[in-house]
Structure 1
Amino acid sequence: MSNNYQTTMRAIHVCSVGFALAFLISSALANDAYLFLNEIPIGGEGGWDILTIDSPANRLYLSHATKVVVVDLNKNAVAGEIADTPGVHAFVAV
């Protein structure tokens, strides 16, 4: 094999190992950034879809089958529901 080919393959190998290490280190650091603070009972059956946070209003919107549940994050409680939204998958607070 040529010297150029070996140099290229060595560089690819070093870069691959470097990217793998960077990914593993960043993943390990990201796991330490999350803490469980409390649990807010939402209720309802089935799964939930996309969550949206409205930071200025301090509200969390959870889409769920035929409704959007609104959670007041200051009170850690359900503030209300936006009903009659069949097939809702997401909600954007404007």
Structure 2
Amino acid sequence: MSRPVWGGEEFVVFLPDTWLDQAFWLAEEIRADLATIRLTSEEGIPFGITASFGLTQCQTADQYPDDLLRRADSALYQAKHQGRNRVISIPTAAAQKT
């Protein structure tokens, strides 16, 4: 089984006892807050901060942590491909509230 690989600007956060929609709104709040930050480079050039998030939820069918991480990584790449600075979740039947 191949392992997902993360770049230096990527990190993973696990949120136990959290529904996918709750994680989505938390990530969206963080993304929006980051977007309000304005910085200036050493050369005096102003710039902002953006962030893309890929979310999923653990399923009973997940046999390995890599299954969960691969779905989250796929959602992250969808967010980047759709223009960045957004939150994308991959809902599944097992991830929905019953």
Q: Shorter-chain TM-score: which interval?
A: under 0.3
Q: Which has the larger radius of gyration?
A: 1
Which structure has greater helix proportion?
2
Which structure has greater strand proportion?
1
**Larger relative contact order, structure 1 or 2 (CA cutoff 8 Å, min sep 6):** 2
Tell me the TM-score normalised to structure 1 length: 0.25
Tell me the TM-score normalised to structure 2 length: 0.24
